Structure 1
């Protein structure tokens, strides 16, 4: 489901976090969109949540343009559920881990991951995989995504694919919708609103002090019909 409150609807978040619910969708081509904008709680900057005070409802018309092919995925997601709820749903031992509500998880931040062993254990890792032989964080862009189609071919991911898989809990992720001359973030959730997990890979490298630091990446694949109007890729 893209947005809420009903399955099949598409919700766009405006610049102040206000939900924009689309009345029309089309998978291909350029369409006219009749949107309803309401004030409310949306994604803020950092880990905050912006709350709109306006109760006005008004209609706008926007032009939808298909996404650019092979554009990089937007690296943001949310995880609001409590750690006890996540541990019960995904059957892992949380130990003494804490999980405060996070509305805007970004690359290079520490993120909750669940290992593939038995019993499952959860830990925090840096989002942006650092290959074990790299010697540390490079100056380049963090490897926040890994394409499912080429995992076995990429030296950075081959060993992790065989030996170090993980789950990365979330309850929504964000992509950019490109309208007429502007972009708006789209929040993608399950229709039920429940938490889910991304498929991920992880590695361990050592910082300058010699301490082990875990890092992870989210696996992506070709977008399905629902998400294709927004992006040509989606998380696994």
Structure 2
């Protein structure tokens, strides 16, 4: 679920009122970010924010862990310490998930209406991050049953606040409102390793099946 991400070259512009000690976004945009590849992550240190690139997915004995369930994130040993003291924002403009069609998996691109910046509640450890997930809203549930916890802009700093209480943090882990999102099928090339093209976010008519755009 949410194993592919996208970001465009205006990440820092959406943090106009923030003070940054460091901004490093390289490459400046990506149409498809895969597990183990870097994406822009916002952290806070001594009251100053910074944007750096971290790899998608915690490395564990069971493989890459791209998501931590919001319902249990504070309890599981893999995520508990990071939830307590190493929270971050993953700054992206869209993500992909695939609908099982039997003979193949049809990728869908999911993003905010207007294609604005989405900040996922996330955790970091070393050079890697994992996204905190919630049950899917109505839009995402047409494709998959889980989705990233998308924080509202007035929650971005609150998620990074070192003294935030567990109850305050957990309250932010909820599905995004249905009306704020849209999704549509895209080329199946998205699922192929190494694919990176502007065509990744172009709507397509799938080869088979009944689809309703929403």
Shift of 1:179: 3.5
- Greater mean alpha carbon deviation, residues 170-179 or residues 121-130: 121-130
Aligned counterparts of 1:119 and 1:95: Cα–Cα separation in 2? 9
Aligned counterparts of 1:185 and 1:94: Cα–Cα separation in 2? 37
Aligned counterparts of 1:224 and 1:231: Cα–Cα separation in 2? 10
* Shift >6 Å, 4+ stretches: none
CA RMSD, 1 decimal = 2.1
Normalising by structure 1, we get a TM-score of: 0.57
Aligned counterparts of 2:12 and 2:83: Cα–Cα separation in 1? 28
1:146 corresponds to: 68
Shift of 1:125: 1.4
2:147 corresponds to: 234
Shift of 1:121: 1.4
Matched, 1:122 2:44: no
CA contact (8 A) 2:7 2:31 kept: yes
Aligned counterparts of 2:9 and 2:67: Cα–Cα separation in 1? 23
1:96–1:217 distance in 2 versus 1, CA, 3 Å: closer
CA contact (8 A) 1:84 1:94 kept: no
Shift of 1:188: 0.4
Shift of 1:78: 0.4
Matched, 1:105 2:1: no
Aligned counterparts of 2:102 and 2:56: Cα–Cα separation in 1? 32
Aligned counterparts of 1:119 and 1:174: Cα–Cα separation in 2? 31
Greater share of helix = 2
Q: Which has the larger radius of gyration?
A: 1
CA contact (8 A) 1:128 1:143 kept: yes
1:160 is paired with a residue of what secondary structure?
A: helix
CA contact (8 A) 1:161 1:201 kept: yes
**Cα offsets for 1:107-132 (capped at 9, x unmatched):** 111221101442211112122124xx
Shift of 1:216: 0.9
2:22 corresponds to: 95
1:24 corresponds to: none
Structure 2 segments unaligned to the other structure (5+ residues):
150-214
Number of aligned residue pairs: 147
Aligned counterparts of 1:230 and 1:129: Cα–Cα separation in 2? 24
Normalising by structure 2, we get a TM-score of: 0.62
Aligned counterparts of 1:149 and 1:84: Cα–Cα separation in 2? 30
Shift of 1:153: 1.5
Aligned counterparts of 1:81 and 1:87: Cα–Cα separation in 2? 13
1:77 is paired with a residue of what secondary structure?
A: strand
CA contact (8 A) 1:83 1:97 kept: no
